[in-house]
Amino acid sequence: MSSLRRVLVTARPLRARLALGVLLGALAIGAGVALMATSGYLISRAALRPEILSLAVTIVGVRFFGISRGVFRYAERLASHDAALRLLARLRVTFFTRLEPLVPEGLPAETRSGDLLGRFVADVDELQNVFVRAVGPPLVAVLVGAGAVLTAGLVDLRAGLVLAAALVGGGLLVPAASAALVRSSARREAPVRAALLADVVSTLDAAPELVVFGGREAALARIDGGDGALTAIRSRAALAEGMGDGLVTLAAGLAAAGMLVVAVPHVRGVLLAMLALLALASFEAVRPLPAAAQQLGAADEAASRVYDVVDRPAPVLDPPTPAPRPEGRTLEYGGVRLRRGVVVALVGPSGAGKTRLAHLLVRFRDPEFGAVLLDGRDLRAYTQADVRSTVLLSDQDAHLFATSIRENLRIARPDATDDELRAALRRARALDWVETLPDDLDTHVGEHGALVSGGQRQRLALARAFLSDAPFVIFDEPTAHLDAPTAAEVVETILELPREGRGVLLISHTDDVADAADEVVEL
Amino acid sequence: MRPVDPRLLREAPAARRFVLLAGVLGVVGAVATVAQAVALGLAVDHAFLQHRRVGGELAVFAVTTAVRAAVAWLLETGGRRTAVRVAASLRRRLVAHLIDARPRDVAVGELAAAAVTGLDALGPYFGKFLPQLVLSCAVPAIVFAWVVWHDLTSALVMALTLPLIPVFGILVGKVTEQRTLRRFRTLGVLSSYFVDVVRGLPTLRAFNRTPSVADVSEAYRRETMSTLRIGFLSALVLELAATISTAVIAVEIGLRLVDGGIALAPALAVLVLAPEFYGPLRAAAAQFHASADGLAAAGRVFELLDLPPAVRAPERPLPVPDLRRATIRFEALGLHYAGRDEPALSGLDAAIGPGERVAIGGPSGAGKTTLLEIVLRLLDQTSGRITVDGVDLRELDPTAWHRGLAWLPQRPQLPAGTVRAALGGPAIADERLERALAQAGAGFARLDDVLGERTPLSFGEIRRLAFARTLARDAALLVLDEPTTHLDAGAAQIVIDAIGALPETTTVLVATHDPRLLAACDRVVALAPVEERQQA
């Protein structure tokens, strides 16, 4: 649980809000317990047929608890969700701030793929529920349990002890046991599920070939096999998942019966009903605990996955006394020498380290030998911000954010006017297309730019490059996913940049960009 | 939204059996609940007012408690086991169906998610929601019956208040629905923002931009809270109705006890039963999300099961003519995907004689792969037809048609297992498989190798193995889709040589724009690019 503890440290500034949620939760359940206990007392008193007036206070108590429970619960829900969302905001900011310097070179290669970053986001989101579902309920149970045991103990010490024992059994042992069983089956389940998912994916991927070549039955049999193994594991896990509710019910009943057994000889009869109902009702606080314990394990795993990512060292750091901002006259590394107004093509087969070189030139990482020289000075002498406003990397994937075309372009220059945006689009040969769109610059590009084609995506990336005033621009495989005519057009557009006095490095795995370049470097 | 999907019960026998079992268990649990309350009432009454030993009453109380615990355990365990079985049977049907339906507009990842992770939501649905739903029917009914029998006044309070819960729930729901819907759209945008920003981090870093995660998270919190303030109102109504009614019953019973209108034992039993009367309904409402998620997962599977197959099967399949003698004709063949502006293929006329090596040329996007897929019976054209010796291809027995041909897709997928199995063995003799491996330049593989066991295969290796699979079938018609792209000159030459070495009667249909391969073919059928088609 050590990773989870670190999350809770992050939550420390929110502790007053979190405590308020716990307190209101305890009051809500406490009101329910008090409602039953007071009602039991009221009825027992009434059975002795006293003056009705003497019952007045108890009746008021019953009514008060009856109304307050719902109100407390409503307030608790709002308070604890508000705290959880504030916690989420803190976690996002904290983890994002630590993730940022790691991207892209500080992460293991496979984490750079979108899936694992998606997982990272899901894990951070999962942690917001830690408090509402896993940490809050045990604290509420402790408060309510202590109150109930104290009340019972004041009536009769033995009854209090019986209740305490049953609450510990139902609230501690049962959740611990069920969580341990569920976790151990989850460990066995994970590889089986992963294999099943992989089988389903490869079967669906191969569907046309299964139809043409046959083999459909064999593929389905593999899935059946995986499902058989999964069913066996899940059936055993179901026993553990189902036991929580049942055992808590049993503990509640045994507590009530046990308290009556020890209390009957010693306690005034008028209090017996109160004791029994107090016991039955107080287990409402214990009921969510088995699920909470299971959640706690899942949350800890999510937290340790998140820390695994953000605990990595940053691949580059700013120097303590940075050199003044470079003008951007020359950029050199190895065989590459980039000047303004010149296009250098860098070609080589995939896997030769072209993207790595691009990352060196914008200082996403540092070279193991030698140095990248910007205006004759080691890149490490400048701040990263100065390097990247001098050397712009236009990524292979050219991420488009799920917002309007305008906002996507303004990433290159936040204060750009619409006229400037249109000028950049025109030079990127995208203006005609944008003007046919229903909302013009306000058109939403969809998640991951799903609503625009590969060619349009590269043109928008080009427009960003035109908007930025970085003297050097590096294009990493700008034509990778484009068909031949579109690719030729994109390269032609890129050649506009050197005409306005900027230096361009064009990276490609094919040599068809070589003709366009002033200089060709092979890796 | 309905709490139970009739189609789920109809199509999953395990689900039907569980609902029956849950009904029986629910009644047993409800009877035990009443018996437990009565035993407690009697125990307190006898100990308090009659000063008797109450061992017998407490024993009954303990036994009924144990029965309730067992019912709870059995319901959840049974429900979760049912969920696993239902998921497995739906998954198998779904995958079998999708092999034939092959929807083009849904990514495989999304389909697989619907078939595997999506169906996980059935666990809480069967394990938590359905049992709670059964209990919320059985327990109030049986408790109410007992209370009517023993205390008509309290029964009246219950009968008047219980309907308030759904009525107020629906009223609050109606009032809030519009506002919630509107907010949900904003929330969707805000909640996907963080994913988007994290995925786009390399781009943001390249441009020196730092997004305002804090501001957006704060906006997200404010939006969510204003949704929740209203959303939680319906829970508040449920809660208030239940606890206030319990309080009303307690006071009303107390007053009648003073008058002697009711005895202590039934009075206590009624008091214990009052929260049990409202409890299951509240618990079922609390599991609403489990129900919504589970039904949505099942609904998504049913939606996919309703997709039509990608090609229509002939009603009376005709035998396939001998491909070594038959001529294949394209007659005004065209295909227009639904929802696209331009047809993928239009008005193609061509004939391919037996033993001809025909290249399909044209720029990317001109419909080469589409044409091959129609020939392979993986797609149905939307206009014109293909004839084989004068018979419409769509009337031929599809299985027999597939048996007579071999195919090399652009991105081949080899099944997991041995190389022998992937190439079509043991139905095809080992010698022939080995010859095919050699011809395809896949000499690196042994027949007993298990694919990808030691090191994952490279794309080029998979291509060569898939080409070996194509050659091993000794088919009369070879359909090859860009067999030389991404290959270096040497590897491309191996493919061209292998095509040259085919028996003369073998017909080859190959989509390519590789000049070396075009030169090796008898003839080129050029498909016009989309723009020219528009002009024409």
Contacts of B174 (CB under 8 A, 6+ apart): none
Return the residue of A nearest to B399 by Cα. A212
The torsion angles phi and psi of A471, rounded to 5 degrees, stand at -65, -30
Q: What pLDDT score was predicted for residue B182? A: 65
Q: How far is CA B160 from the centre of its chain?
A: 43
- Collapsed DSSP state (helix, strand, coil) of residue B406: strand
Residue B534 predicted with pLDDT over 60 = no
Report CA B152 to chain centroid distance, whole Å.
Answer: 50
- A201: closest CA among B413, B121, B299? B413
Neighbours of B254 (CB within 10 A): 25
- What's the mean pLDDT in A97-115? 72
DSSP 8-state assignment for residue B397 = -
pLDDT at B268 over 60: yes
Q: Which helix (H) or strand (E) holds B65?
A: helix B55-101
B184 inside 8 A of chain A by CB: no
Read off the pLDDT of residues B303-354 as tens digits, 9 standing for 90 and up. 999 999 988 888 999 998 988 888 999 999 898 877 666 788 888 888 999 9
pLDDT in tens, A24-37: 999 999 999 999 99
Whether B98 sits inside 8 A of A223 (CB atoms) is: no
Q: Which residues of A touch B240 (CB under 8 A)?
A: 67, 70-71
Q: Which whole number is the average pLDDT over A174-203? A: 88
pLDDT at B263 > cutoff 90: yes
Give the closest-approach CA distance of B384 to chain A in angstroms.
Answer: 23
pLDDT score for B512: 86
Judged against a pLDDT cut of 70, whether residue A51 lies above it is answered with yes
Would you say residue A218 has pLDDT above 80?
A: yes
pLDDT at res. B45: 94
Q: Is B351 on the interface with A (CB under 8 A)?
A: no
**Helix spans in A15-169 (H):** 15-47, 56-99, 114-129, 136-155, 157-168
SS (H, E, C) B450-504: ECCCCCCCCHHHHHHHHHHHHHHCCCCEEEEECCCCCCCHHHHHHHHHHHHCCCC
Distance CA B243, CA B228 (A): 22
Q: Percent of chain A at pLDDT above 70?
A: 94
Note whether B154 and B115 are within 8 A (CB). Answer: no
Closest CA to A412 of B227, B321, B204: B204
pLDDT at res. B46: 94
pLDDT (0 to 100) of residue B533: 52
The average pLDDT across B358-375 equals 85
A209-223, B63-77, B191-205, range with greatest mean pLDDT: B63-77
Site from A128, A129, A234 to mutate, B interface, most B CB atoms within 10 angstroms = A234
Characterise A130 by phi-psi region: left (phi > 0), alpha (psi -120 to 50), beta (else): alpha
The lowest-confidence range among A115-129, A191-205, B388-402 is A115-129
The candidate with the shortest Cα–Cα distance to A379, out of A325, A343, A313, A342, is A325
Average pLDDT, chain B: 86
Task: Identify the pLDDT of residue B455.
Answer: 61
Asked if the Cβ–Cβ distance from B264 to A483 is below 8 Å, we say no
A142: CB partners within 8 A, 6+ apart: none
Interface contact A82-B235, CB threshold 8 A: no
More confident of the two residues B455 and A215: A215
Residue of B36, B45, B48, B379 to mutate, testing the A interface (most A Cβ within 10 Å of its Cβ): B48
- Which of these, B469, B479, B481, lies nearest to B507 by C-alpha position? B479
Give the pLDDT confidence score for residue B121 in this predicted structure. Answer: 84
Q: Please report the pLDDT score of residue B62 as a whole number.
A: 95
Write down the pLDDT at residue B443: 84
Better-predicted residue by pLDDT, B522 or B457: B522
CB within 8 Å: A227 and B363? no
Q: Among residues of chain B, what percentage have pLDDT more than 70?
A: 92
Is the pLDDT assigned to residue A142 strictly greater than 80?
yes
Q: Which residue type is seen at B378?
A: L
pLDDT score of B277 more than 50: yes
* CA distances (Å), origin A407, targets A399, A403, A416, A424, B174: 13, 6, 10, 14, 37
pLDDT at B529 over 70: no
Identify the residue with better confidence: A17 or A353: A17
**Residue B471: CB partners within 8 Å, gap ≥ 6?**
B406, B436, B439, B440, B498
Query: First vs last Cα of chain A: how many Å apart?
Result: 48
Whether A411 and B275 lie within 8 Å, measured CB to CB: no
* Whether pLDDT at A349 is above 80: no
Neighbours of A71 (CB within 10 A): 17
Whole-angstrom Cα distance, residue A80 to residue A137?
A: 11
Identity of the residue in B204, B257, B416 whose CB atom sits nearest the CB atom of A47: B257
Over the stretch B409-446, which tens digit does the pLDDT of each residue have? 988 888 878 889 888 878 888 999 999 999 988 888 88
Banded model confidence at residue B185, pLDDT cuts 50, 70, 90? low
Sign of CA dihedral A97, A100, A101, A107: positive
CB B193 within 8 A of CB B217: no
CA B389 to chain centre: 42
Q: What is the pLDDT of residue A422?
A: 93
pLDDT in tens, A424-450: 998 888 888 888 888 888 888 776 666
The reported pLDDT for the residue numbered B187 is 66
- Chain B contact set for A93 (CB, 8 A): 213-214, 217
Q: What is the rounded radius of gyration, in angstroms, for the C-alpha atoms of chain A? A: 33
Cβ contact, residue pair A227, B91, below 8 Å: yes
Q: Residues 150-179, chain B: which have Cβ within 8 Å of A?
A: none
Q: How far apart are the C-alpha atoms of A313 and A310, rounded to whole Å? A: 8
CB contact under 8 Å between A88 and B217, yes or no, is yes
Is the pLDDT reported for residue A117 higher than 80?
Answer: no
Exposure class string for B328-349: b at 16+ Cβ within 10 A, else e: bbbbebbbeeeeeeebbbbebe
Q: How far apart are CA A81 and CA A18, in angstroms?
A: 9
Residue type, B522: D
Does A284 score more than 90 pLDDT?
yes
Strands B507-511 and B357-361: parallel
- What is the distance between the alpha carbons of residues B209 and A77, in angstroms, rounded to a whole number? 37
DSSP A444: B
Range of lowest pLDDT (A259-268, A288-297, A439-448): A439-448
CA distance B288 to chain A (A): 16
The CA distance from B228 to B223, in Å, is: 9
Of A505, A514, A454, A449, nearest in space to A476 by CA: A505
Higher pLDDT, A327 or A150: A150
Residue B305: what pLDDT? 93
**Can you list the pairs that A443-451 forms with residues at least 24 positions away whose Cβ atoms lie under 8 Å?**
A443/A404, A443/A405, A444/A402, A444/A403, A444/A404, A445/A400, A445/A401, A445/A402, A445/A403, A445/A404, A445/A405, A445/A408, A446/A402, A447/A402, A447/B192, A447/B196, A448/A399, A448/A400, A448/A402, A448/B196, A448/B199, A449/A399, A449/A400
Give the pLDDT mean for B117-144. Answer: 89
In tens, the pLDDT along B20-79 reads 999 999 999 999 999 999 999 999 999 999 998 889 999 999 999 999 999 999 999 999
Which has the higher per-residue pLDDT, B95 or A500? B95
- B536 has a pLDDT exceeding 60: no
CA A45 to CA A274: how far, in whole Å? 10
Q: Position B41: which residue type?
A: G
Contact B274, B246 (CB under 8 A): yes
Nearest Cα residue in chain A from B221:
A85
Of B363 and B492, the one with more pLDDT: B492
Residue of higher predicted confidence among A239 and A514 = A239
CB of B37 within 8 A of CB of B273? yes
Candidates B43, B79, B199; nearest CB to A260: B43
Nearest by CB: A242 against B76, B196, B204: B76
Mean pLDDT over residues B191-205, rounded? 82
Q: Quote the crossing angle between the two packed helices B13-48 and A15-47, to the nearest 10°.
A: 50
**Tokens at B251, concatenated:** 């006071």
- The residue with greater pLDDT, B150 or B490, is B150
Provide the mean pLDDT of chain A: 87
Task: Report residue A270 as tokens.
Answer: 């008028």
Cα B50 to its chain centre, rounded Å, is: 63
> Does the CB of B96 have a partner CB in chain A at under 8 Å?
yes
**Contacts of residue B242 in chain A, CB cutoff 8 Å?**
70
For residue A408, the chain B residues in CB contact (below 8 A) are none
Chain segment B210-259, per-residue pLDDT in tens: 888 888 888 888 888 888 887 788 778 878 888 888 899 999 999 999 98
Q: What is the mean pLDDT of residues B273-284?
A: 85
- The rounded distance, in Å, linking the Cα atoms of B227 and B229 is 6
Q: How much is the average pLDDT of B183-197?
A: 71
Joined together, the tokens standing for residue B117 give 């992770």
